[in-house]
Amino acid sequence: AMAAARTVMRAVRVFEFGGPEVLKLQSDVLVPVPKENQVLIKVHACGVNPVETYIRSGTYARKPALPYTPGSDVSGVIEDVGEHVTAFKKGDRVFTLETVSGGYAEYAVAAANRVFPLPDKLDFRQGAALGVPYFTAYRALFQKGCAKAGETVLVHGASGGVGLAACQIARACGLKVLGTAGTEEGMNVILRNGAHQAFNHRDPNYIERIKECTGPGGVDIIIEMLSNVNLDADLQLLARAGRVMVVGCRGRTEINPRDTMSKESSIIGVSLFLATEEEKQECATAVLDGIEAGWLKPTVGLEYPLEKVSKAHEDIICSSGARGKMVLLL
């Protein structure tokens, strides 16, 4: 049956590390073949994550072998399955957490245990917004942050993919949710997605406004998307035994460690890449349950065709005021 299928596809390839211009769209890339315990997916949409820009630049801890195709969270339809795959069949709607061959492409191979059924109530664009953002948010809140119902969480930079995921999950699990965004539109988006209160982090007094809101108690958990800018202020906002979850960072920063002593607070790094098999399955269970329950609804932001992938990489870092998950459409 595969003989009749297409053998080449369009895919983005990176031959050298560098700026967004090193992303090359090619039309003669071989369609990968799924090995055992793998599936081949016809990609309908693929999420764009900040980490993919760091990897592409060559400055990140993880350096894939060149050339490679970026992209990990795709949504689409199963095209073919490798040996021993029983969970999926051709035609199934799915989303992925990771791919083997790269997601910025018309077809992608993924390990079957990194693929999950995409419920009918979500479209493919929303499916591409699930993997990295929601799994990261769940990991930051519960697996690493030990969040509990009744605690207060501040999502610092809440209008992007991970931020909105964190707002939705925290709200559904009984936390008091505060969020920051850089635009009026961003603030409205986070209020629609579970935040009890929104603050504009461009307002010079916004830290004071958050303190007024939390009172002397402070914030139990901060989900931090830009720790090089915010970490010092975050430590002032924490409650006793509070913790800052470092989800995003774009450089060095200076803090006074004494600020952690006065509250016995913690700074905890979050890396979905380091999650165990069991932890990834726990995230998947929580995400699928949230979709089923109806409160987990990804907000899709800017959409780009594959030809505009360089612009997408530029915009996710440089444009101000995210409002949802950035996706490539195929």
Domain 133-273 has CATH 3.40.630.30: no
Single pTM value for the model: 0.95
Q: Residue 61: what pLDDT?
A: 87
77 contacts 65 by C-beta, under 8 angstroms: no
Segments of the chain scoring below 50 in pLDDT: 1
Q: Is the peptide bond before 67 cis (omega within 30 degrees of 0)?
A: yes
**pLDDT computed for residue 320 by the predictor:** 72
**57 phi and psi angles, rounded to 5 deg:** -70, -20
CA distance 239 to 192: 26
Q: What is the pLDDT of residue 5?
A: 66
Give the separation between CA 94 and CA 43, rounded to whole angstroms.
Answer: 10
Q: How far apart are CA 108 and CA 100, in angstroms?
A: 7
Provide the pLDDT for residue 4.
57
Given 2.30.110.10, 3.40.1030.10, 3.90.180.10, 3.40.50.2020, which CATH number is that of 8-54+65-129+298-329? 3.90.180.10
| Domain locations in the chain as residue ranges | 8-54+65-129+298-329, 133-273
pLDDT at residue 319, as a whole number:
79
Q: What is the pLDDT of residue 62?
A: 87
pLDDT of 3 reads 54
pLDDT digits (tens, 9 = 90+) for 266-283: 999 999 999 999 999 999
Distance between CA 114 and CA 277 in Å, rounded? 10
| CA dihedral of 329, 113, 277, 176, whole degrees rounded to 10 | 50
What pLDDT score was predicted for residue 221? 98
Q: For 325, phi and psi rounded to 5 degrees?
A: -85, 130
